[in-house]
Amino acid sequence: MTQQVTAPAPDTARLVARATPGTVIVTPWGTPFSEHGALARLTVSGYGAHRRAEGRFTGPVVLTPSPCPPQPRNVVAEGEVSTTAVTDAEFCDRTALAFVLGIRLPHCRQEVAYKRRGARPVWLHGLGGAEEAHSWACVMFRDDRPEALVWQGGPRRLWDEAEEAYAWWARQGEPRHDRFGLTVTRSGHAVWLDSPGNVVGPRAR
């Protein structure tokens, strides 16, 4: 039995609780980080407390984007400045990377601007509690400079987290959506790489 659903991931847990073992659930899944999610194909198994749904992502899907928090009024005055060797081509417009960043960066939203005159700003905004909501980062990629300027403010260093997540993705061989999978149980969601035992994130939207 296959159920085609369009509900986001938190609703998937309720659907799994009502489904019989052997049911196949196909559903979009993503995080607040960006509109770049993936389509999950999950098979339900077990009863009661042992009920679960598990399977791989089959490919990318575009979700309704979450609203972005307001930007700082003056990044130069309000943020700490640094540089990064990560380039615009490496970081922007890559759907698999945006999907992975959402898994690896909890409570964070990305805003990628259009490139104008060889320059493109990328914003990272903290979401959630008061402490995280005051965290932000802005990266200014420029075609005429080998390194990009970075400004960060708040308790979290969001760009540092994003750069670390990008490096992790590169070390794994830049995996696309179909190397990742999802396990849904009564206690939540777990995203894994290659096999269910290799959990890389519990983020859900």
| Whole-Å CA distances, 28 to 31, 56, 59, 161, 176 | 11, 12, 10, 25, 16
Domains, the chain, with CATH or none: 2-64+175-201 (no CATH), 75-171 (3.30.160.690)
Q: Which residues pair with 122 in a beta bridge?
A: 112, 139
**What percent of the chain lies above the pLDDT cut of 70?**
91
pLDDT score, position 77? 77
Q: How confident is the model at residue 165 (pLDDT cuts 50, 70, 90)?
A: very high
Stated pTM of the model: 0.87
Residue-level length of the chain: 205
CA distance 9 to 55: 13
pLDDT at 107 over 60: yes
pLDDT score, position 15? 80
Q: Which of 98, 108, 96 is nearest to 32 (CA)?
A: 108
Q: What is the pLDDT of residues 6-56, one digit of tens each?
A: 445 557 778 888 888 999 988 899 999 999 999 999 999 998 888 999 999
φ, ψ of residue 130 to 5 degrees: the values are: -60, -40
